[in-house]
Amino acid sequence: SRLGGIVNTFRLWNLVTPVFSYANLTLLFAATMTICAQVLITWLPVYIGRATKELTGGNSGQYADRQALSSDLALSFLCIFMYVSLRGGTQVLIMLVGLSWRYNLTRTLHALYFHQKAFYRVNCIQDIDNVDSRFASDLNTFIKLCCGGVSPPLASTYVAIISDVFLVIAASFASLQRAGYRITAFAYIYNAVTILVAVTISTPIARTTEAQEKKEADYRAHHMRVKTYSEQIALLDGEDVELNLLDMRLDSLVVNQRVLIFQYFRLSLANTFSGVGGSLFGLTIASLTLFTRRLFFKFDIMELTMMLGTIEILSSACQALPTKLPALTSIADSPP
């Protein structure tokens, strides 16, 4: 049952994690930081609302207060920065604690498994590992990571790409008409930079993931070898040698997985910042446009709403397009 699975999970956790351990304190700290981040992000609309008020005339109803506008924008950026830092730091802490737990638990189970030749004496009701199931699982993981998944099919992928391309074109024309060429250029620069950063950060992840899959497969293959040749290993007293070989493979894959965790951490920071910061991008560009004027006249509220909405559509379309291209490339380059 599901409740039984939760109980077993806690039992496995407590097997190598004392109650007042560093891991449990880290989890408590991570949970606290997550709560703080969720409370903090609720203040972002407040500062955005104040900035919007200044852009449409402020208290005077005619002129924008440059100092108040700058202060509200600075507080908004500070709120986003703290939110991204808290969320990203919490995620990497949890992943590192989980990796440490896996390492300690596996070494403990290895020691128990090889103690007094338990690998040979214990009869398992079910197979410890199933090669066919593992191969299917690995293949499914590879398809999801590298090919964008089996679904959507070819036709849907092409339709989605065409839809996103034409949305970028239509939003660009609308942005030129409603916001002007300078704001449209700023929007393209912002999206190009954020996409380039995300692509640059994510490129090494594919290589590290491939290496991790190989190490995991080699690790499971050695488990299967111990199970298959358990009689010979017990006869020749080779359990210490096999235990050392398993621990060497475990050390290698844990080191590689730690590298993968930090690579995903950097990607998560970039994606979170570009996603949350995108809500503030239009206001920032509008403020810069207002600051370049000789007099700080207010924006007409309809003009501001149209401009911000158009920029948001353009940014969403630009950010969505790169996620479709890998799927198209995978379909086109897949071997027969």
Which CATH number do you get for residue 313?
Answer: 1.20.1560
From CA 280, how far away is CA 286, in angstroms rounded?
10
DSSP state of 300: P
Q: What is the pLDDT along the chain (336 residues), one digit of tens a residue?
A: 455 556 666 777 777 788 788 888 888 888 888 888 877 877 877 777 777 777 776 555 566 677 887 888 888 888 888 888 887 888 788 888 888 887 887 788 777 777 766 654 544 444 444 444 444 454 444 444 444 333 334 444 555 666 677 778 888 888 788 777 877 888 888 888 888 887 788 778 878 888 888 888 888 888 777 777 777 877 787 888 888 888 888 889 889 988 988 888 888 888 777 766 666 776 777 676 666 554 455 666 666 767 777 777 777 777 776 665 544 444 434 444
| pLDDT (0 to 100) of residue 126 | 46
Is 182 within a domain?
A: yes
Domain presence at residue 71: yes
What range defines the domain where residue 24 resides? 2-122+152-333
> What's the pLDDT score for residue 142?
42
Shortest CA distance to 56 belongs to which of 68, 44, 45? 68
Bridge partner residues of 297 (DSSP): 63
Residue 235 exposed, middle or buried by CB count within 10 Å (0-12, 13-18, 19+): exposed
What is the structure's pLDDT at 298? Answer: 62
Question: How many angstroms separate the CA atoms of 260 and 215, rounded?
Answer: 13
Any domain includes 128? no
For the chain, the domain total comes to: 1
Q: CA torsion angle for 42, 43, 49, 55 (degrees, to 10)?
A: -130
Residue 255 forms part of a structural domain? yes
**Is residue 74 domain-resident?**
yes
